[in-house]
């Protein structure tokens, strides 16, 4: 009943928000006589509908897989989706002279903000940023999570899912991400996915999602085939 992993969850994370915003306006000192244009934040991620709001320093459970491995002082980036629909996946490169950080994000709804950690877990440092670019794939079809299902959270990580359409649903996939409600921000670029093979009209099923925390996980997309 439960689908395979599509993403990430935080275990014992600590988000250093104060440091994150302080670092955003700083640049490394010039080291040469030739002055080059320096990238300032917020900045458009060239080639995408994403805005890079600020570089960040991250400490906590590594949010880009299910390991929960504790990491300290690694590079992160806060991104916002400015498109009118969700982004299925995107890859972002934040570059400086001599190096770069690489960030990957998927299933980010329209208007959503997410903190993503560098894929190589490189330590954060203040650089003279020179470029921020990437590529993306826009998610086709509906993103309204309440269009075909109603979902009720209960204690102990259980979710009740009800088919609210007039059709039998097959191959239902429910995508969710780690979420900080007070900051209204997702944490971790990737998401989890739970699946249901069939769901009759009005039928309700109980699911226990993998690495789902009530109040700190949020469903971002529901995809299903419909059958009369």
Q: What is the mean pLDDT of residues 184-188?
A: 95
25: pLDDT strictly greater than 50: no
pTM beyond 0.85: the answer is no
34: pLDDT strictly greater than 60: no
Closest C-alpha to 172, from 153, 145, 191: 145
Q: What is the mean pLDDT of residues 119-145?
A: 89
Q: What is the pLDDT of residues 200-226, one digit of tens each?
A: 999 999 888 888 888 888 999 988 877
Rounded Cα gap, residues 33 and 27, in angstroms: 16
CA dihedral 198, 201, 205, 209 (to 10 degrees): 60
Q: What is the pLDDT of residues 123-133, one digit of tens each?
A: 999 899 999 99
Rounded Cα gap, residues 37 and 162, in angstroms: 54
Q: What is the pLDDT of residue 141?
A: 72
Rounded to 5°, the CA angle 105-96-177 comes to: 15
152: pLDDT strictly greater than 50: yes
DSSP run (H or E) holding 22: helix 17-23
> Which residues does 180 contact at the CB level (< 8 Å), separation at least 6?
15, 186, 187, 216
Q: What is the pLDDT of residue 90?
A: 98
Give percent above pLDDT 90 in the chain.
56
Rounded Cα gap, residues 51 and 105, in angstroms: 13
Q: What is the mean pLDDT of residues 39-51?
A: 96
Q: How far is CA 15 from the centre of its chain?
A: 15
Unique residue bearing structure tokens 């996915």: 193
Q: Which domains does the chain have, with CATH numbers?
A: 14-138 (no CATH), 149-227 (2.60.40)
Q: Which range (19-28, 73-82, 87-96) has the least confidence?
A: 19-28
Tell me how far apart the terminal alpha carbons of the chain are, to the nearest angstrom. Answer: 22
């Amino acid at each position: 009943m439960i689908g395979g992993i599509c993403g990430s969850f935080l275990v014992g994370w600590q988000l250093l928000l104060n440091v994150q915003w302080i670092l955003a306006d700083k640049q490394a000192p010039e080291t040469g006589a030739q002055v080059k244009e320096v990238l300032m934040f917020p900045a458009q991620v060239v080639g995408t509908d994403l805005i890079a709001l600020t570089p960040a320093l991250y400490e906590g459970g590594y949010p880009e897989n299910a390991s929960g491995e504790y990491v300290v002082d690694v590079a992160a980036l806060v991104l916002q989706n400015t498109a009118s629909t969700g982004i299925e996946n995107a890859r972002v490169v934040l570059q400086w002279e001599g190096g770069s950080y690489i960030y990957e994000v998927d299933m980010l709804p329209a208007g959503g903000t997410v903190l993503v950690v560098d894929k190589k877990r490189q330590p954060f440092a203040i650089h003279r940023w020179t470029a921020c670019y990437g590529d993306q794939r826009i998610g086709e079809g509906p993103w309204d999570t309440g269009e075909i299902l109603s979902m009720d959270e209960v204690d102990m990580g259980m979710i009740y899912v009800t088919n609210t359409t007039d059709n039998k649903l097959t191959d239902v996939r429910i995508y969710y991400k780690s979420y900080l409600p007070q900051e209204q921000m997702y944490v971790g670029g990737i998401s989890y996915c739970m699946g249901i093979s069939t769901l009759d009209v009005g039928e309700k099923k109980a699911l226990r999602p993998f690495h789902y925390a009530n109040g700190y996980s949020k469903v971002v997309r529901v995809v299903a085939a419909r059958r009369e």
